[in-house]
């Protein structure tokens, strides 16, 4: 069986080693994808009934608060599918996907604060060169804030369960090389952010940004032995992108401000580069803060 240089990760992967066969993993991914698709279809159908034709047309771009909530809620199906796959194919419970509860909570909180501080600083620097446009009215924004944060918490948690809590674990249980169990989930996460109709010529830059996030999250998971740090990183990033300064045309419905350019414009490419730089700084700070 593979042995790792990170004792906490060794313990994190232990349950995955009991049933590490690749066919189980492939079947689990397929089952998770099926549950995710069915759940998303149900969410969008219900939202379509409630919002009408205009609301349904806006959901893909997240142009309204309701549309964003529908998008975020649809991702919960990914987490449900992952938990179901782990149970049926590997006889594993939710706790084995998360890691030790105390570690998850502590690492989530520390990472979310550090990443939030770095992202806030990066957005302040961005504002020197650009004037953000007003987004959601602040009174509505504040009223919706608890719901918005909860929705982002569940959405990011579902994705972390799938990519770091299941895929990374099961690959690590089967393959010794970190090239496999760090790179493969990260590439999958990056490809999942392939949106050419929205981001145009910047599409591969956004895929690269998501892949870099995946690499940072996978590394933190390996070093800490839980998804807490990766979850906190993801939560803080998405909170900044969805609630503070949204990218015009790319899920801006809950943002207090929006950029004066769209995802397909050249300026969005520079913003993505700034986000990657901020992620790199945040990753280093989190690694230092969570050293075991």
pTM of the model: 0.93
Do the Cβ atoms of 280 and 118 come closer than 8 Å? no
Phi and psi angles of residue 246, each rounded to the nearest 5 degrees, phi first: -90, 155
pLDDT band at 173 (very low <50, low <70, confident <90, very high): very high
Confidence at residue 175, expressed as pLDDT on a 0 to 100 scale = 93
Rounded to whole angstroms, what are the CA distances from 251 to 31, 54, 104, 137?
Answer: 28, 16, 28, 16
Strand bridging mode 133-134 / 245-248: unpaired
Residue 217: what pLDDT? 97
pLDDT at residue 292 tops 80: no
Where are the chain's structural domains?
Answer: 7-289
pLDDT of 36 above 80: yes
List, for residues 236-276, the tens digit of each pLDDT value. 999 999 999 999 888 899 999 999 999 889 898 888 889 99
pLDDT band at 1 (very low <50, low <70, confident <90, very high): very low
Tell me the pLDDT tens digit for each residue of 185-231.
999 999 999 988 888 889 999 999 999 999 999 999 999 999 999 99
Query: Could you read off the pLDDT of 57-87 as tens digits, one per residue?
Result: 566 667 889 999 999 999 999 999 999 999 9
pLDDT at 63: 80
For residue 201, what pLDDT is reported?
86
Task: Write the pLDDT tens digit of every residue in 108-167.
Answer: 999 999 999 999 999 998 988 888 999 999 999 999 999 999 999 999 999 999 999 999
Length of the chain: 292
| Listed residue (170, 269, 277) closest to 221, CA to CA | 170
**What per-residue confidence (pLDDT) applies to 5?**
66
State residue 61's pLDDT score.
67
Secondary structure of the chain as H, E, C letters: CCCCCCHHHHHHHCHHHHCCCHHHHHHHHHHHHHHHHHHHHHHHHHHHHHHHHHHHHHHCCCCCHHHHHHHHHHHHHHHHHHHHHHHHHHCCCHHHHHCCHHHHHHHHHHHHHHHHHHHHHHHHHHHHHCCCEECCCHHHHHHHHHHHHHHHHHHHHHHHHHHHHHHHHHHHHHCCCHHHHHHHHHHHHHHCCCCHHHHHHHHHHHHHHHHHHHHHHHHHHHHHCCCHHHHHHHHHHHHHHHHHEEEECECCCCCCEEEEEECCCHHHHHHHHHHHHHHHHHHHHHHHHCCC
Instruction: Extract the tokens encoding 239.
Output: 């909170």
């Amino acid at each position: 069986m593979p042995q790792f240089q990170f004792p906490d990760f060794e313990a994190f992967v232990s349950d995955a080693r009991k049933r590490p066969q690749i066919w189980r993993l492939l079947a689990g991914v397929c089952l998770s994808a099926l549950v995710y698709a069915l759940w998303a279809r149900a969410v969008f159908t219900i939202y379509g009934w409630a919002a009408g034709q205009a609301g349904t047309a806006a959901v893909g771009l997240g142009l309204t608060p309701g549309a964003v909530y529908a998008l975020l809620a649809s991702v919960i199906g990914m987490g449900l599918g992952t938990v179901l796959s782990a149970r049926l194919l590997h006889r594993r419970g939710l706790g084995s996907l998360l890691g030790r509860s105390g570690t998850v909570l502590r690492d989530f909180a520390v990472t979310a604060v550090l990443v939030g501080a770095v992202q806030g600083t990066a957005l302040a620097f961005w504002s020197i060169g650009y004037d953000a446009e007003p987004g959601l009215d602040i009174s509505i924004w504040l009223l919706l804030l608890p719901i918005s944060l909860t929705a982002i918490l569940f959405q990011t948690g579902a994705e972390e369960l799938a990519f770091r809590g299941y895929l990374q674990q099961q690959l690590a249980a089967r393959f010794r090389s970190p090239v496999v169990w760090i790179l493969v989930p990260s590439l999958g996460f990056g490809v999942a952010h392939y949106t050419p109709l929205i981001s145009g010529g910047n599409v591969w830059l956004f895929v690269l940004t998501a892949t870099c996030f995946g690499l940072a999250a996978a590394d933190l998971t390996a070093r800490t032995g839980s998804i807490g740090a990766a979850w906190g990183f993801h939560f803080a990033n998405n909170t900044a992108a969805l609630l503070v300064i949204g990218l015009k045309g790319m899920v801006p419905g809950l943002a207090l401000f929006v950029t004066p350019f769209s995802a397909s414009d050249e300026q969005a490419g520079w913003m993505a580069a700034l986000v990657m730089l901020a992620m790199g700084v945040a990753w280093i700070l989190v690694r230092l803060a969570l050293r075991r």
